[in-house]
Amino acid sequence: MSAPTYISLPAAEQKALFRRILERSEDKSSRAPVIVFDLDGTLMDNRPRTLAILKALGQSWKTRAPKHAEALAKANVDSLAYLVKDSVANLGVTEPELIAEAETFWKERFFTDDALSHDVAIAGAVEFARAAYERGAMLVYFTGRDLPFMGVGSFRSLRDLGFPIGVVGAELVLKPEFSIPDETFKRMEVSRLERRGEIIATFDNEPGNCNIFAETQPTAENVFMDTQHLPGAPALRSDVKTVKDFAAALP
Summarised one tens digit per residue, pLDDT across range 217-245 is 999 999 999 999 999 999 999 999 999 99
| CA separation for the pair 226, 243 (Å, rounded) | 6
Among candidate residues 119, 182, 112, the one with its CA nearest the CA of residue 152 = 112
Q: What angle do CA 60, 63, 68 make, to 5 degrees?
A: 70
**pLDDT, position 192:** 94
Question: Are the CB atoms for 164 and 43 separated by under 8 Å?
Answer: no
Residue ranges in the chain whose pLDDT is less than 70: 1-3
Q: Can you state the angle between helices 66-73 and 47-60, rounded to 10 degrees?
A: 150
**pLDDT, position 35:** 98
CA distances from 112 to 109, 147, 153 (A): 6, 10, 7
Residue 6 in any domain: the answer is no
| Number of domains observed in the structure of the chain | 2
**pLDDT, position 2:** 61
Q: Are residues 186 and 129 in the same domain?
A: yes
| CA separation for the pair 160, 180 (Å, rounded) | 27
Q: Are residues 181 and 224 in the same domain?
A: yes
Residue 52 in any domain: the answer is yes
Q: Are residues 111 and 219 in the same domain?
A: no
Question: Length of the chain in residues, anyone?
Answer: 251
List the CATH number of the domain containing 159.
3.40.50.1000
Q: Which domain holds residue 132?
A: 11-44+121-249
Q: Are residues 36 and 79 in the same domain?
A: no
CA distances from 128 to 34, 60, 121, 131, 160 (A): 14, 40, 11, 5, 16
Q: Are residues 174 and 82 in the same domain?
A: no
